[in-house]
Amino acid sequence: MDKKTLIIDHFECWGCKACEVACKQENNAPDGIKLIEIVEDGPRMAGEQPFFEYHVRVCRHCEDPPCVAECPVAAITRRSDHMVILDTAECTGCEACIDACPYDAISFDEANGVARKCNMCSSRVNQGLIPACADNICLARCIQFTSTFDST
Amino acid sequence: MTEFMQSNIEREMAVYGYDSLVKSHCRMCHGGCGVLIYLKDKKIAKIAGDPDCPINHGSLCSKGLASAQMAYHPDRLTFPVKRIGAKGSGRWARISWDEALDTIAERILDYKSRFGAESIVMGYGTGRENEAAIYRFANLLGSPNVLTAGHFCYGPRIATSIITCGTNPIVDYEHHPKCIMVWGNNVVISNPDCYKGEPFSNSVKKGAKLIAVDPRLTRIAARSEIWLPLRPGTDAALALGMLHVIITEKLYDHEFVENHVFGWDAFKERVRQYPLDKVEEITWVPSEKIAAAARLFATTKPAAIQWGVAIEQQITCADNDRLLMALMGLTGNIDVPGGQVLFQPPKVRNVGQFGAHRMLTDVQRDKRLGGDRFRMADNFAIINPKCVWDAILEEKPYPVKMLFFISSNPVITRANAREVYRALEKVEFMAVADFFITPTAELADIVLPAATWLEMDYIGDYWKRHGYILPRRKAIQVGECRSDHEMLNDLGRRVGQEAHWWENFEQALDWILEPMNITWQEFKKMDYLRGDVVSQKYKARGFSTPTRKFELYATVLETWGYDPLPRFREPPESPYSTPELCEEFPYILITGRRQPGFFHTENRQVPWLRELHRDPVVEIHPDAAGKEGIEEGQWVYIESPRGRIRQRAKYFSGMDPRIVSAEHGWWFPEKNIPGRGWDESNINILTDNRYETCDPAMGATSVRTLLCRIYPVSESEVSHG
C-alpha cells in the first residue's frame, strides 16, 4: 500500500486562504468548522529580524496518532496507507480526541455533536484523485500530496 | 515518490459524475484567472483553476473558488425591481426587463431634452470589464460624466504612464525579475489589476530578492531583504530619496538616460532637493536603509516594481506613479525581459475604440464635471466624485438629475460617505445594476439584476495591459439576470443609439475581434490570444509621448498648467500639516488593508468567504492599545474630524505605534434593517473629500492616510449595538 502524505511548506504560505475555501467546496463542513485553517505567527522580533509567518493548521496524519489512542469508541483509525480517518458516524462527541491533538487540528461540530477533522479527502484519494487543498489551487504550491511506496 | 500537482480532469468528471466542463475566465475581482467549471444537471458543482491558463497556471483564489456560492446565493436579485416605498424603505415590486429598460430610457430622454445629456451620470466602481460598454453608452448619449474609481485607482497609472512612456509598464514575471520592489502592495492577497499572486510567488521561489515598502509588516515584508516601513503618505519623498542615491552614486543606466530620457537636467535638479537626511525626517525611514534599498534595486538586473493602488489614494497620486516609473526607467528596467514591459495587446479593436470616445462632441466634452480643476483626469475622461455630489446637492455648475450605477456601491466606497448618501437620497432618479440590493441600491428607483461572470460571454482581460485576452464563456443562467453589456446594448437601442449597438451582444464581440479575422465563436474555441512580445521597442520608434522620449519632465502636464516635475506633498492631515488637529486625533489612520475573500464591498454575504473574516478589524500596536485601554478583540470606535465608526481591535506589533490600520468596504448584508449597517463600520464615514485634499491633477481622494483617535466601545453600547 502506498503511503499517502500531505507535505506542507509553511514558510512558503502567503496566507491567501484559498485552501480553506477549496476544502469547504469539497467537504462542505458546517459554518465555523475549518478542517484546514491558516493561522498567523507573529509579528514579533526574531533576534534582529522582524518575523511574520502563516502556518497551515490541518491534521498531520501522525504516525502514532494520540487521537486514535484516546478515542473510546475507535471512531478514529489509521489506515494502512497512513491516512488517519475520523468516522463521524461512529463519533459520540466526547471530545477526548480534541484534547489529545497536539496540533489543535480537531474541531467540535456543535450542530451535529461530533468531532471533525481533515480526512485527507479520503473519498477523493480512494478514487485516485488528490485532496482538494493540494489540487493545484495554492498560489505558492505550499501544500503537496504525495503517494510513496511503503516498504515496511 | 509520486508528487501530484493536480487531478486528472477526466478522472474528476468520472468520479463525481459531472455532465460537462466549461473553461472560462474568472471575474470575482478585475478578472484574470482561467477556471474550470464542472457542471452537473446544468448547475455548477465545482470550480477549479485552469492549469493551462498562462495567467494563473491552475491556482485560484478564495473568491474564485466561492463564485458559485455567490451566483446561487438566496439573496441574489434575479429579476428587475422598482421601488414602491420611500428611498431606503426596502419595498420593491417585480417588473419586467421591458418595463425596467423602457422606464430608464424614458427618464434618460426626458432629462437629456430638459437639462442636457450631462445631467445624466453613468457610473461604475472598480474595473469589472464593463467599462468599455459604459463609456460607449455615455459617449453616444453625449454625457461626458462617467463616475468611476479611475480618479484614485488604476486610472492614475494609465494616465501617468501614457504621458511618461506611452503605456502601463507591467512586471514581466514570466522572465523572473531578480529583484522585486513591492511598493504599497500585497499582491498575494489582492491579485490586483494586471497582476496575480501566483506568478509573483514563482519569481520569489526562483530567488528574486525582495524590497518591501509598506508601513505594515506583511508576509512579503517579512520575507524581504530590506523592509522600508515608511510613514504613511510619504511614498514620493522615499522615491525621491532613492533616486537621489541612484543619481549621486551614478547607479543609473547611462545609455538609457543619454538617449531615451526627456528632462534629465531639470529632473536631477528636482531630485537634488531631497537629500537623504531630509527624506529620513519626512519618511521616518533611516537613511542607510533607503540607500541600501536604492543600491540593491539599481544594481540587480532585471528588477521590477510591484505597484498598486495604495500610492494613488493620496494627495500625491500622479507624482507617486511618475516617481516609481522614474525608478524603473533610470535603472534600465523598462521594456526588458524580467523588468517592466510595455506589452502590446492582440490587434483587436481596443477599449478606447469600443468606448466611442470620439463620438463625444467637444461641446459636451467641455462640460465634464471638474474638468477645469482636475485637468489630467479630464483628459482621460475621468471625474472626481465630489463634483457629482456637488452637482446634485448644489446644482453647480449644473444640475445632475439622474445616476445609473453599474456594479458600484459608492455609499461605502467613496470618500465622505455621508455626503454621498445625501446626494443619492436627493438625486431625482437612480438606476442601479448589481447582484444584490446593496446600501446604494436601496436608494435606487430601479434595480437591474446583473449577471456574474459565470453567466456571460465576454472577452476577458480586454482592458488590461499585460497583452493577453481570454474567452469568458457563459456556463449558467440565473433567473433573469443579464450581463451589463447586454443591458446597455438594449438600453442604447431604446435611446436612439441603435446604429451603434448590435442586435445581440455576441455581434459586439465579433466586432471587437474582427481585425484578427476571427469571430466570437472561433475565439471561444481558443485558450487565449496574446499580442506580440517585443523588447525595447523604444530603440526603434521611441516612446509614444510628445517628445518620443521617456518623459521624466512631463510636457503635457506643463501644457495643462502643472509642475512638470514630480514632488512630495505632505498628506492633508498629518502630524506635520495639521499639528493642532493631531493633538486631538493623535494616530495616523491607514485604510484599506486587503483581506482574502473580499473585494471592496463585495462578498460579505458569501458564507465561505465571510467565514474567512467575520468582522471589520482595526489593527493597533499593543503599546498604543495599552495606552488607550483597548483589549484584543474588543469593539472600538475610530473617530476622525468627520465622524466615527467601529471595528474590532486586533493587536499588531508589525508597525509604528503611531499608526492604526483599518479595513474598508464594510456593510452587513445579514442585518435585516434599512441601510444594512452601511455607516457602522464604513471607513468612508471618516474620510475627507474636499477638493483641496485631492491630487491637483488627477482628483484622487486622499482616503488612505488621515488622523484619528481610537477608544473602546462601552459594554452597554456593544450589547445594544
Query: In this structure, what CATH number is given to the domain that contains residue B364?
Result: 3.40.50.740
Same domain, B380 and B332: no
In a domain, A152, yes or no: no
In a domain, B119, yes or no: yes
Return the number of other C-beta atoms located less than 10 Å from residue B289's C-beta.
17
Tell if the CB–CB gap between A18 and B221 is shorter than 8 Å.
Answer: no
In a domain, A86, yes or no: yes
Per residue in B413-456, pLDDT (tens digit) is 999 999 999 999 999 999 999 999 999 999 999 999 999 999 99
pLDDT at res. A149: 74
pLDDT at res. B394: 98
Domain residue limits at A87? 2-146
Tell if the CB–CB gap between A139 and B2 is shorter than 8 Å.
Answer: no
Question: Grid coordinates representing B576?
Answer: 506635520
Per-residue 3-state assignment (H helix, E strand, C coil) for B401-469: CEEEEECCCHHHHCCCHHHHHHHHHHCCEEEEEECCCCCCHHHCCEEEEECCHHHCCEEECCCCCCCEE
Tell if the CB–CB gap between B611 and A31 is shorter than 8 Å.
Answer: yes
Note whether B359 and B274 are within 8 A (CB).
Answer: no
Note whether B459 and B512 are within 8 A (CB).
Answer: yes
The continuous run of DSSP H or E covering B643 comes out as: strand B643-651
Question: Which chain B residue has the Cα nearest residue A22?
Answer: B65
Residue B289 has pLDDT above 90, yes or no: yes
Tell if the CB–CB gap between A130 and B197 is shorter than 8 Å.
Answer: no
Provide the pLDDT confidence category of residue B3 given band limits of 50, 70 and 90. Answer: low
Same domain, B131 and B224: no
Tell if the CB–CB gap between B3 and A146 is shorter than 8 Å.
Answer: yes
Same domain, B504 and B591: no
In a domain, A49, yes or no: yes
Q: Could you tell me which of B704, B347, B360, B688 has the C-alpha nearest to residue B529?
A: B347
Q: Which residues of B touch A12 (CB under 8 A)?
A: 201, 205
Provide the pLDDT confidence category of residue A150 given band limits of 50, 70 and 90. Answer: low
Q: What is the DSSP string of B287-299?
A: HHHHHHHHHHHHH
Note whether B13 and B40 are within 8 A (CB).
Answer: no
Tell if the pTM clears 0.95, that is, is over it.
yes
Note whether B77 and B447 are within 8 A (CB).
Answer: yes
In a domain, A151, yes or no: no
B48 in reach of chain A (CB within 8 A): yes
B188 in reach of chain A (CB within 8 A): yes
State mean pLDDT over B467-494.
98
Q: Which of A15, A51, A148 sits opposite B1 (nearest CB)?
A: A148
> φ, ψ for residue B141 (rounded to 5)?
-70, -30
Provide the pLDDT confidence category of residue B7 given band limits of 50, 70 and 90. Answer: confident
Provide the pLDDT confidence category of residue B519 given band limits of 50, 70 and 90. Answer: very high
Question: Grid coordinates representing B122?
Answer: 453613468
Mutation site for B-interface testing, chosen from A7, A57, A120, A137 by largest number of B Cβ within 10 Å: A137
Same domain, B262 and B177: yes
Mutation site for B-interface testing, chosen from A10, A21, A146 by largest number of B Cβ within 10 Å: A21
Same domain, B322 and B405: no
Question: Which chain A residue has the Cα nearest residue B35?
Answer: A137
* Sheet of strand A143-149: strand arrangement: A2-8, A143-149, B2-4
Q: Which residues of A touch B210 (CB under 8 A)?
A: none
Residue B699, C-beta contacts closer than 8 angstroms, at least 6 positions apart? B151, B152, B370, B373, B374, B377, B382, B383, B384, B387
B677 in reach of chain A (CB within 8 A): no
A81 in reach of chain B (CB within 8 A): no
% pLDDT > 70, chain B:
99
Domain boundary, last residue among B492, B524, B559:
B559
Q: How many residues does chain A have?
A: 152
pLDDT at res. B347: 97
- Please give the DSSP secondary-structure letter assigned to residue B220: H
In a domain, A51, yes or no: yes
Q: Which of A32, A43, A124 sits opposite B217 (nearest CB)?
A: A43
State mean pLDDT over B670-694.
97
The continuous run of DSSP H or E covering B92 comes out as: strand B92-94
Same domain, B640 and B714: yes
Tell if the CB–CB gap between B609 and A21 is shorter than 8 Å.
Answer: yes
Same domain, B373 and B312: no
pLDDT at res. A1: 72
**Structural domains of chain B, count:** 3
- Please give the DSSP secondary-structure letter assigned to residue B503: S
Q: Which residues of B touch A34 (CB under 8 A)?
A: 611
Same domain, B176 and B139: no
pLDDT at res. B31: 87
Same domain, B121 and B263: no
Q: CATH code at A32?
A: 3.30.70.20
Interfacial A residues in 9-68 facing B (CB < 8 Å):
12-18, 20-22, 24-25, 31-32, 34, 42-44, 50-54
Q: Could you tell me which of B176, B611, B669 has the C-alpha nearest to residue B440?
A: B669
Residue B700 has pLDDT above 70, yes or no: yes
The continuous run of DSSP H or E covering B122 comes out as: strand B120-124
Per residue in B40-73, pLDDT (tens digit) is 999 999 999 999 999 999 999 999 999 999 999 9
Three-state DSSP at A145 gives: strand
Provide the pLDDT confidence category of residue B118 given band limits of 50, 70 and 90. Answer: very high
Q: Which of A14, A136, A145 sits opposite B219 (nearest CB)?
A: A14
Alpha-carbon gap, residue B96 to B355, rounded angstroms: 28
Among left, alpha and beta (phi > 0; psi -120 to 50; other), residue B32 is left
Per residue in A133-144, pLDDT (tens digit) is 999 999 999 999
Three-state DSSP at A36 gives: strand
pLDDT top residue among B93 and B1: B93
Same domain, B658 and B706: yes
Residue B121 has pLDDT above 80, yes or no: yes
Question: Which chain A residue has the Cα nearest residue B189?
Answer: A16
Question: Which chain B residue has the Cα nearest residue A125?
Answer: B7
Three-state DSSP at B328 gives: helix
With 0-12 CB in 10 A as exposed, 13-18 as middle and 19+ as buried, what is B229?
Answer: buried
Q: Which residues of B touch A42 (CB under 8 A)?
A: 217, 222, 654
In a domain, A87, yes or no: yes
Question: Grid coordinates representing B471?
Answer: 474567452
pLDDT at res. B245: 98
Provide the pLDDT confidence category of residue B716 given band limits of 50, 70 and 90. Answer: confident
Give the closest-approach CA distance of B601 to chain A in angstroms.
18
Residue B665 has pLDDT above 80, yes or no: yes
Residue B619 has pLDDT above 70, yes or no: yes
- Average pLDDT over chain B reads 97
Q: Which residues of A touch B653 (CB under 8 A)?
A: 43-44
Same domain, B249 and B391: no
% pLDDT > 70, chain A:
98
Residue B483 has pLDDT above 90, yes or no: yes
Question: Grid coordinates representing B80?
Answer: 428587475
Q: CATH code at B630?
A: 2.40.40.20
Note whether B449 and B483 are within 8 A (CB).
Answer: no
Domain residue limits at B139? 81-143+357-456+476-509
Give the closest-approach CA distance of A94 to chain B in angstroms.
26
Return the number of other C-beta atoms located less than 10 Å from residue B84's C-beta.
9
**Structural domains of chain A, count:** 1
pLDDT at res. B1: 42
Which alpha helices (DSSP H) does B206-284 contain, by range? 219-222, 235-248, 254-260, 264-272, 276-283
B58-B64-B68-B70 Cα dihedral, nearest 10 degrees: 180
Size of interface A-B (CB pairs under 8 A): 138
Same domain, B410 and B337: no
Q: Which of A14, A42, A137 sits opposite B48 (nearest CB)?
A: A137
What angle, rounded to 10 degrees, do the helices at B287-299 and B235-248 form?
Answer: 60
B222 in reach of chain A (CB within 8 A): yes
Interfacial B residues in 609-648 facing A (CB < 8 Å):
609, 611-612
Among left, alpha and beta (phi > 0; psi -120 to 50; other), residue B699 is left
Question: Grid coordinates representing B462?
Answer: 480586454
% pLDDT > 90, chain B:
97
In a domain, B573, yes or no: no
Q: What is the DSSP string of B528-589?
A: -EE----S-THHHH--SSTTSSEESS-HHHHHTTS-SS------SSSTTT-HHHHHHS-EEE
Residue B526 has pLDDT above 80, yes or no: yes
Q: Which of B6, B196, B596 sits opposite A136 (nearest CB)?
A: B6
Give the closest-approach CA distance of A122 to chain B in angstroms.
13
Residue B187 has pLDDT above 80, yes or no: yes
